[in-house]
Structures are given as C-alpha cells and as structure tokens.
C-alpha cells in the first residue's frame, strides 16, 4: 500500500512521462486544445482509479493511448459535442510550414488522421495502431496508405515516408 506522498510522486512521474503523447493524441482527435486537456485529465484520472499493473512501460503507454482513443471517440459522439462548435485553433505561433502541415493533416478524415498521427508522431507500427484504435491491421494499413496519398496530393512528397 503506497502512502499518499508516494502515490502522488508515482502519478506525477506517469503524468509527466505521458502527458505529451496523450495531449497531442487527444488533440489530433478533437482538434481543440482545451478539449484535449480535459480528455487528458480524464485519462489520467482513469489511470489513477484503475491502477493497472504492467510488465513493460510500452504496455503502459499502449494502455494509456488506448484509453485516450476511447475517451476521444466518446467525446466526439457525445451530445454535448454535437451541439457546440469549437473555435478554430490559432496556430499562428508556429512557423508557417508547420502550421500549414498540421492544418493539412488535421483536415483529413478522422480515420486517416489518427493512424497518421500515431505512425509519424509516436512511431507506432501498423499492428500497434490497430491494437490502440481497436481496428483490423489491414484496415489501418489502408487508412494509412490513403491518408498518405491524400497528403501527397496536397503537399507533394514533403511529408515523410
């Protein structure tokens, strides 16, 4: 049984380790920073409540990413989300090439956008993406390929392979 101080420290380490990935993954779904932050907090609260055990850090990260994916899908399906329109995000603080690239990627349909984010930002394989998002590998491979093709039509070969 951990003391409150130990628990606080353990959670703090987990949050600091994975908040970058969780926030950006949630952002790639909801395209809104405040919503992404709310979802990320909810993910970590779930983590604290469930207190799951893992043999490897990779498993822990995959679990956290999977919970993030589910919470984002729930949020996007929620009646609240359907009734409100988010303000477009101002990415003016980014260099122009980067804000343009992000705009292009985030303009893709969700099914293409999410595999592209997980593949290019997190470096996950197709199989890992399939597990995190709960889809078939073949489907993810196709979405990834089509997402790339769509980006290629917009920005040429400048994305990455």
Partner 1 sequence: MNNNPYKSAVEHLKFDEAFDEQTIALMLAAAQKKKTIRPFRIPRSSWRYIAAAAVIILLFIAVPLIRGPQNTNETTVAAAMTAAGYETTAQSDVTSNETTALTTLSTDVYSPGTVIEDGTMYVSSTTSRMTPRSMNELVNVADNIFTGLCVSSEPVFQNDFLYTLSEVQVTAVFKGAFQVGDIVPVVEMGGRTTVGEYRKETTVIVKDFDHYDDSIPADTNYVEGMDGFFPLKVDDNVLLFAGDTSGFLNDFTGPLYDTYGDYEGKMYFRNENVYARNTPSNTDQITFDDKSSSISLDELKLLIEDSK
Pick one of 61, 65, 118, 135: the residue that binds partner 1 (CB under 8 A): 135
How far, in Å, CA of 143 to CA of 114, rounded? 9
H or E segment and range at residue 24: helix 4-30
Give the Cβ contact number of residue 136 at 10 Å.
Answer: 10
How far, in Å, CA of 129 to CA of 141, rounded? 9
CB of 70 to partner 1, least distance (A): 11
Pick one of 30, 67, 72, 105: the residue that binds partner 1 (CB under 8 A): 105
Pick one of 30, 35, 40, 147: the residue that binds partner 1 (CB under 8 A): 40
Give the position of tokens 């409150």. Answer: 4
**Binding span for partner 1 by CB under 8 A among 56-64, 79-87, 101-109:** 101-109
Q: 121, 96 in Cβ contact below 8 A?
A: no
The closest of 129, 92, 103, 82 to 28, measured between CA atoms, is: 103
The binding site for partner 1 (CB under 8 A) comprises 7-8, 11-12, 15-16, 19, 23-24, 27-28, 33, 36-37, 40-41, 44-45, 48-49, 91, 93-95, 97-99, 101-102, 105, 109-111, 116-117, 120-121, 123, 134-139, 141-142, 145-146, 149, 153, 158-160
């Amino acid at each position: 049984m951990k003391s409150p101080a130990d628990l606080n420290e353990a959670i703090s380490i987990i949050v600091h380790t994975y908040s970058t990935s969780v926030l950006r993954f949630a952002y790639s779904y909801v395209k809104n920073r405040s919503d992404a932050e709310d979802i990320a907090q909810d993910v970590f609260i779930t983590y604290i409540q469930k207190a799951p055990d893992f043999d490897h850090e990779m498993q822990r990260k995959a679990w956290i990413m999977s919970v993030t994916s589910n919470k984002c899908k729930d949020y996007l399906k929620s009646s609240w989300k359907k009734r409100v329109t988010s303000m477009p995000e101002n990415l003016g603080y980014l260099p122009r090439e980067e804000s343009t690239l992000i705009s292009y990627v985030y303009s893709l349909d969700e099914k293409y956008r999410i595999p592209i984010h997980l593949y290019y930002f997190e470096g996950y394989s197709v199989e890992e993406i399939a597990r995190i998002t709960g889809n078939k590998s073949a489907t993810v491979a196709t979405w990834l390929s089509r997402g790339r093709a769509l980006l290629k039509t917009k920005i040429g070969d400048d994305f990455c392979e």
